[in-house]
Chain A
Amino acid sequence: EPEVTQTPSHQVTQMGQEVILRCVPISNHLYFYWYRQILGQKVEFLVSFYNNEISEKSEIFDDQFSVERPDGSNFTLKIRSTKLEDSAMYFCASTNGNTGELFFGEGSRLTVL
C-alpha cells in the first residue's frame, strides 16, 4: 500500500537553528499538507500546497516557516530560526483531491532545546 514517508523521525536542535523536515508524498497525489501536534494538544493545520504554491496557511505559519517542493517527489518544511514552542510532532499529508482519502506520514518529532 502506498504511504507518505517522513524524515527524520526525531530531530533535536538548539533554539535559533534552522530545521528542514522532509516528506515524500504518495506519488500520484497533488495536494500536500503540513500539520503539527504539540504534545497533548490538537492536531493543527499549518499549510497546504498545490500546483507548486501555497494554497492556504494558518496563523501559525508565520515568516519563520516555508515549504518547498524542490523536485518531483520531496515536500519540505523549513523552520528558519527555531523557538522552544516549535517543539512538536510535525505531520505531512497528501491526497489526490479526487477521493476523500487523505493520508498522513508517521511524523517527525522536533525537540527544540
Chain B
Amino acid sequence: GEDVEQSLFLSVREGDSSVINCTYTDSSSTYLYWYKQEPGAGLQLLTYIFSNMDMKQDQRLTVLLNKKDKHLSLRIADTQTGDSAIYFCAERTNNNAGNMLTFGGGTRLMVKP
C-alpha cells in the first residue's frame, strides 16, 4: 500500500529558511499536499502541487517535487516563530474510488527566536 515518510523534527532560527522533506511510495499520486497543524487545532491546507509539476511557489512557501525519486519538499523562507507547528505531507492517489489522502507522520518545526 501507499506509504509516506517524514523526519520527525526540525529546528531553525527565526529568519532562516526551513526545508521539510517527505518521501512517498505510490507512483500514481495525482496531488501532493502540505498541511500545517498548530497545537490542538485542525489541519490547515498550506499548499499543494499537481504531480505533473516540479515546483510551485506561493509567497514564502516553495514546494519542490522530484517524481523520479518520489521526494517532496516544503521550503519556508524567512521562517517566523508563528511557523512553529507540525507539518504534514500527504499524497492523493487516483487508483481508488475515494481519492483518499495518505499522510506522513508529521514534522514538528520549532523556530527559535
Chain A, range 15-73, C-beta contacts under 8 Å to B: 31, 33, 35, 41-45, 47-48, 50, 55-58
What residues of B have a CB within 8 angstroms of the CB of A93 in the complex?
43, 101
Partner of B43, one of A43, A48, A95, A97: A43
- What's the minimum C-beta distance from B63 to chain A, rounded to whole angstroms? 12
Number of A-B residue pairs at CB separation under 8 A? 69
| CB of B50 within 8 Å of the partner chain | yes
Do B99 and A31 touch (CB < 8 A)? yes
Say yes or no for A75: interface residue by CB 8 A criterion: no
How many Å lie between the Cα of A104 and that of B88 in the bound state?
13
Which range contains the number of B residues in contact with the other chain? Answer: 20 to 34
Q: A43-B43, A91-B42, A91-B43 in contact; A48/B50 too (CB < 8 A)? A: no
CB pair B97 A101 closer than 8 Å: no
Query: Which of B45, B48, B96 is within 8 Å of A104, CB to CB?
Result: B45
What separation, in Å, do the CA atoms of A95 and B8 have in the docked complex? Answer: 28
* Complex alpha-carbon distance, A106 and B41, angstroms: 6
User: What chain B residues lie within 8 Å of A107 (beta carbons)?
Assistant: 41-43
Task: List chain A positions with a Cβ less than 8 A from chain B.
Answer: 31, 33, 35, 41-45, 47-48, 50, 55-58, 91, 93, 95, 97, 100-107
User: What would 26 A/B residue contacts be, using CB atoms closer than 8 Å?
Assistant: A33-B100, A42-B103, A42-B104, A43-B101, A43-B103, A45-B100, A48-B98, A48-B100, A55-B97, A55-B98, A56-B96, A56-B97, A56-B100, A93-B43, A95-B99, A100-B30, A100-B33, A100-B49, A101-B48, A102-B92, A104-B43, A104-B44, A104-B45, A105-B42, A106-B42, A107-B43
Q: Chain B: residues with CB nearer than 8 A to chain A? A: 30-31, 33, 35, 41-45, 48-50, 88, 90, 92, 96-106
